A and B are shown apart, each in its own frame.
Chain A
Amino acid sequence: MTFWPKKKEETPSAMPSTAPSQSNAQSLLASSPSQPSQDSSRRKYFLGKNSGSGGTGVGSSGSASNVLPPSSAPGSSSYLQLAPIRQVFGVPLEQAIEQARVLSGYDLPAVVYRCIEYLNFHQAKMEEGIYRLNGSSTVIKNLKEQFNHEGDVQLMASEEYYDIHAVAGLLKLYLRDLPSSVLTRELHKDFLQVVGKDIGSLDCPL
């Protein structure tokens, strides 16, 4: 029995490989593939990594030393293309953890860790309508692409400020994209049985 069918997002491979990472929320409205360069040395750094597309494709920008997340393989020549080489969205939970975790012994996908860490740090709990209001879908999409490419993206280390509603949206998207219930296939029905059909659907939206 499925109470609420999960929405399926398009796969990352269906997205244009040149999708740029916007430098801030304001610039999202202009979906130009070429990102305005604020820092020429930074841009040069990225262009040095790959002479491909025009977009930098990197939101976790900053000094060159903290640009690369710890899980990023050295010499990732396809850095700008953001191919889903370390896919964490839409894959089984265990696989996402295998791709990237933040702390050894802590079985949490890095993307979940980074989102909660970021939201805690930026006091999302003091924001009206947090988790209810939608973040920019472009920011969310770009962050998803980055995580699928790098496995882990240190949102906090970025010079960029990501809108907390977008980060909240990213977390929700990750959960929605899980291929099977977080309660596991085996136990899902047992969980449903706990509250019974009537009670379980009491607060069901829609």
Chain B
Amino acid sequence: MRIRNHPTNFLSSYTELSSREDRVNELTRLVASLPEANYTILRALTAHLIEIVDNADVNKMTARNVGIVFSPTLGIPAGVFSLLMSDFDQIFHTDDGRIMPLENSDLHGHTVSRGDASLDNIPHS
């Protein structure tokens, strides 16, 4: 397995991405290269699960618990899944102005400043 070339990645082929930032950047690149259908389902699901985790004090489903359930379901590592949720805005480019029907406007701003995050959602709830 080889890490593809990336502008900010000068790690050797045999070195795992060491910093969290590197991993998030690489995930961002990979998610951007997913086909539209795969991107959409992954984003819709992740956004939905962030809402679940945001209420972990009530529903007891922490990010870790949700990861334990969904990593095997999706067949992806818990580490990847955890980053998809924690760095949702960057990885899914939520600032690109696209309207995603099922997403709650409160969702955005997890890792970036809230700003006008509400604008990229459906105005009427």
Residues of A within 8 A of B (CB): 2-6, 93-94, 97, 102-103, 106-109, 112-113, 116-117, 119-120, 124-132, 172, 175-176, 181-184, 187-196, 199-206
Contact = CB atoms under 8 A, between A and B. Distances in A.
Interface of B: 1-4, 16-17, 23, 26-27, 30, 33-38, 40-42, 44-45, 48-49, 51-52, 54-55, 58-61, 64-80, 82-83, 100-102, 104
A8 to B, nearest CB: 12
A107 B41 CA distance: 8
B71 to A, nearest CB: 7
Contacts of B73: 172, 175-176
Contacts of A112: 41, 44-45
Given A131-B49, A190-B3, A199-B77, 16 more contacts: A94-B37, A102-B101, A108-B40, A128-B59, A129-B60, A130-B52, A132-B69, A175-B70, A184-B34, A184-B35, A184-B38, A191-B30, A203-B64, A203-B71, A203-B79, A204-B71
A200 B102 contact: no
Question: What DSSP secondary structure best describes chain B's contact surface?
Answer: helix
23 contacts: A94-B35, A102-B101, A103-B101, A108-B37, A125-B51, A125-B52, A125-B55, A128-B59, A130-B52, A131-B66, A131-B69, A132-B61, A132-B65, A172-B69, A182-B38, A182-B41, A182-B76, A183-B30, A191-B76, A193-B2, A194-B79, A195-B23, A203-B79
Contacts of B44: 108, 112-113, 116
A193 B65 CA distance: 23
B48 A191 contact: no
A122 B57 CA distance: 18
Nearest to B18: A196
Given A125-B59, A183-B38, A191-B27, A199 B79 contact: yes
A206 B73 CA distance: 13
Given A112-B44, A126-B59, A182-B38, A204 B78 contact: yes
A205 B38 contact: no
Contacts of A188: 76
Contacts of B67: 203
